Amino acid sequence: MARRKKIYEGKAKILYEGPEPGTIVQYFKDDATAFNAQKHDVIEGKGVLNNLLSEFFMTGLGNVGVPTHFIKRMNMREQMVRACEIVPLEIIVRNYAAGSLAKRLGLDEGGQLPRPIVEYCLKDDALGDPLVSEEHIAAFGWASQQDMDDILSLALRVNDFLSGVLFGVGIRLADFKIEVGRVYDGDFQRLILADEISPDSCRLWDIETGQKLDKDVFRRDLGSLTDAYTEVARRLGVLPRGGATPMAKPTLIN
């Protein structure tokens, strides 16, 4: 097969030029990083699980009318997505106190917030993705006021959908991060959901036990990340037939 052109390599994904104009292939790597890549490991099977889970969430969101970049899954590690101009913001929606919010405001992790809180971080690894306000976003022109209105309503729709779907399988959506991209249809431009939605970019807690089923398992050394992601995938019914372990090695039978 002809070698594809690599467009970008990030911490967890590689982007290749897609097979058709205006498309991109997202390849999900097994690399796990935390604390701006100060902590790194390769977790066999993580890429496959995130590819399947992101497909599941993006397809579901598309079905309820949320515009996304997802076109189709190509194989166990790759999906075809619509090319877009990524808005340089990480949009975080929080339902429960956790992570950097809990730390910043001295909150106990696990408490329900009075209402969903939306935060914005500048997408800039060199700066460690700093929290920014809408004032910064407007003043530096990272997004327009119309964009910010659209981003807020998109983020809250994604929150409602994901919270409901996950609640149905006994999982609390504590918080998550999304990215959006700009696409052009003739003279019009609009924003669509881009990047990925997976346990790498969400905090997922078992409703009964509080067990963490997301990347905090890796960040905080709480056990097997593959087991946690597999549990999410199993509950949502997205694992391929016959397997709780999509990348399981063949077992010898004596």
Residues forming contacts to ligand TMP in the complex (CB under 6 A) are 92, 98-101, 129, 175-177, 201-203
For ligand TMP, give the closer residue by CB, 45 or 99: 99
In angstroms, what is the minimal distance from the CB of 252 to ligand TMP? 39
For ligand TMP, give the closer residue by CB, 55 or 119: 119
For ligand TMP, give the closer residue by CB, 98 or 213: 98
For ligand TMP, give the closer residue by CB, 27 or 218: 218
In angstroms, what is the minimal distance from the CB of 56 to ligand TMP? 17
For ligand TMP, give the closer residue by CB, 222 or 244: 222
In angstroms, what is the minimal distance from the CB of 219 to ligand TMP? 8
In angstroms, what is the minimal distance from the CB of 109 to ligand TMP? 10
SS (H, E, C) the chain: CCCCCEEEECCCEEEEECCCCCEEEEEECCEEEECCCCEEEECCCHHHHHHHHHHHHHHHHHHCCCCECEEEECCCCEEEEECCEECCEEEEEEEECCHHHHHHHCCCCCCEEEEEEEEEEECCHHHCCCEECHHHHHHCCCCCHHHHHHHHHHHHHHHHHHHHHHHCCCEEEEEEEEEEEEEEECCEEEEEEECCCCCCCEEEEECCCCCECCCHHHHCCCCCHHHHHHHHHHHHCCCCCCCCCCCCCCCCCC
In angstroms, what is the minimal distance from the CB of 201 to ligand TMP? 3
Can you tell me the distance from the alpha carbon of 24 to that of 83, in angstroms, rounded to the nearest whole number?
Answer: 6
In angstroms, what is the minimal distance from the CB of 236 to ligand TMP? 17
For ligand TMP, give the closer residue by CB, 18 or 54: 54
Distances (CA, A) of 8 to 19, 24, 88, 91, 125: 16, 11, 15, 21, 14
Q: Which residue is nearest to ligand TMP (CB)?
A: 99
In angstroms, what is the minimal distance from the CB of 101 to ligand TMP? 6
For ligand TMP, give the closer residue by CB, 100 or 211: 100
